[in-house]
Amino acid sequence: MGCPPFRTLSALLAGALTATAAASLVPAAALAAPADVPAATTAAAPGVERWSADLAVAGGDDVNVRWSAGRLRLADTRPAARTRPAAVGGPVAEGALLAAPRTLARPATRVRAQVTVEVAGGGGVQAQVRGWRAAGWTEWREAAGVGAVFDRPVTRVQTRVLLTARDPRATASVRTVELTADTVATVSAATAGLAYRVFATRQGSVGGQTANGRIIQARDHFVALPSRRGLSPLNTGDYTVRVCTTSGSRCEYAPVWDVGPWNTRDDHWNPSAVRENWKDLPQGRPEAQAAYQSGYHGGRDQFGRTVRNAAGIDLADGTFADGLRLTDNAWVDVAYLWTGAGPRGVVGDGPLNVRTGPGTGYGVRGLAARYANVPIQCYVVGQTVTGPYRTTNRWNRLAGGQYVSHAYISAVYGGTVSLC
């Protein structure tokens, strides 16, 4: 029997295809300016911009996908350690392509996607986008249905295509992704500075692959959250958390590089109006916690597995043992820093000691992982330090009241940092 024909999934088919939009927050000083894709632009009505996503697989941020015979496909459809997020371990093979950010001709507040796909036998496709504004990248958002609507205009858009297969014989391929950006009445997204207490488990999985393509190293420094909405591209900290022991004695700023534990569509930090699934749960309560503690959803995760702990975050070994100095799984306080506002500093070399004062003689209260985007309140003059970016006596005071040397900060974005 022949392959099923290609079909176009428009924004009306939200159940079959999802697409997410978010604004890019990567500072120009930290990364090269994103490449545009002008050749793919098509004519549009006034105020509407249309373009096609470049689906060429260039490596780097692309995970388990290939371009063959005019289609984007999974390179390997077998669920295995290198074809699914390490923190989830679910029975699904996944692959993702991250297109280059596109600079819009004019700011927009909505992005919609129309995708030509072939899916069969348990295959799935999602087209996701995010947008860039002065404060940084928005979360990844679905662009199906009414489209991805941002609370403030975005000036750049980045597309991510996710392919999944529940069976090695499944078909999941994409021929085109057509995008439209325009302006509509805005809606409020998550409130600023969200922080919740959740249960943390040690990820381990050294040698496995994260959802953004990193091969996990011994004593690695990153976290996993159970939603792709807050997943950073490889070697960035666009989405960074501050995770602390409940006593507040130790904290680490760490990038979100994997998806899990248990679920992949549970952005529990968002209010119900924004939350992707399980909208009846209280904001800040992970589905796995509710399933484990009170039998929510029959005590099972999105894959139908019995939930055996309340985990809402996974910690890589270095974050677990060196950053927080944990010896067992534990409750932690997590701040989802991209939901806040104000200047951010990019940690260019780390893990970097986070100290109680502006000098190396002050106590260490935790770490800031390489690539983490840390919230800077102001700066003080302290001990002169030589680092990879400069020799300076400037020490940045973080939102938590601790300090890091500016010698290790590769870039600052999101606002001007003043003297304390």
Residue 55 is encoded by which pair of tokens? 């689906």
What is the distance between the alpha carbons of residues 115 and 10, in angstroms, rounded to a whole number?
Answer: 7
Dihedral, CA atoms, 83, 85, 88, 90, nearest 10 degrees? -20
| Helix, coil or strand: residue 290 | helix
CA–CA–CA angle 398, 404, 408 (5° rounding): 125
pLDDT band, residue 184 (cuts 50/70/90): confident
What is the distance between the alpha carbons of residues 361 and 384, in angstroms, rounded to a whole number?
Answer: 12
Cα separations in angstroms, 290 against 202, 243, 265, 301, 304: 20, 21, 15, 10, 14
3-state helix, strand, coil in the chain (%, to 5): 5, 45, 50
Dihedral, CA atoms, 298, 303, 306, 309, nearest 10 degrees? -110
DSSP labels for 152-220? EEEEEEEEEEEEEESSTT-EEEEEEEEEEEE-------SPTT-EEEEEEEE---TT-B-TTSPBPPTT-
Residue 146, pLDDT score: 62
The verdict on whether omega for the bond into residue 351 sits within 30 degrees of 0, i.e. cis, is: yes
Per-residue pLDDT, averaged over 312-321, amounts to: 98
Residue 352 is encoded by which pair of tokens? 């970097």
Residue 414 is encoded by which pair of tokens? 């999101």
Higher pLDDT, 90 or 391: 391
Per-residue pLDDT, averaged over 200-221, amounts to: 95
DSSP-assigned beta bridge partners for residue 200: 313, 330
* Residues 417/401, Cβ–Cβ less than 8 Å: no
Domains annotated on the chain, with CATH:
49-182 (2.60.120), 195-339 (2.40.40.10), 344-413 (2.30.30.40)
pLDDT cut 90: percent of the chain above it = 66
What is the distance between the alpha carbons of residues 24 and 165, in angstroms, rounded to a whole number?
Answer: 28
Residue 45, pLDDT score: 59
Per-residue pLDDT, averaged over 267-285, amounts to: 96
Residue 201 is encoded by which pair of tokens? 């488990």
What is the distance between the alpha carbons of residues 208 and 316, in angstroms, rounded to a whole number?
Answer: 12
- Among 102, 123, 107, 104, smallest CA distance to 54 is for 102
DSSP labels for 350-365? SSEEEESSSSTTSPEE
What is the distance between the alpha carbons of residues 90 and 87, in angstroms, rounded to a whole number?
Answer: 9
Per-residue pLDDT, averaged over 44-57, amounts to: 83
Residue 294 is encoded by which pair of tokens? 């009170």
| Helix, coil or strand: residue 323 | helix
* Residues 343/376, Cβ–Cβ less than 8 Å: yes
> How does pLDDT run across 348-397, given as a tens digit for each residue?
999 999 999 999 999 999 999 999 999 999 999 999 999 999 999 999 99
Residue 92, pLDDT score: 86
DSSP-assigned beta bridge partners for residue 254: 241
Per-residue pLDDT, averaged over 226-242, amounts to: 97
> How does pLDDT run across 2-35, given as a tens digit for each residue?
444 444 443 333 333 333 332 222 222 223 333 3
CA–CA–CA angle 330, 350, 193 (5° rounding): 55
DSSP for residue 263: -
pLDDT band, residue 145 (cuts 50/70/90): low
Per-residue pLDDT, averaged over 255-274, amounts to: 96
Per-residue pLDDT, averaged over 114-135, amounts to: 89
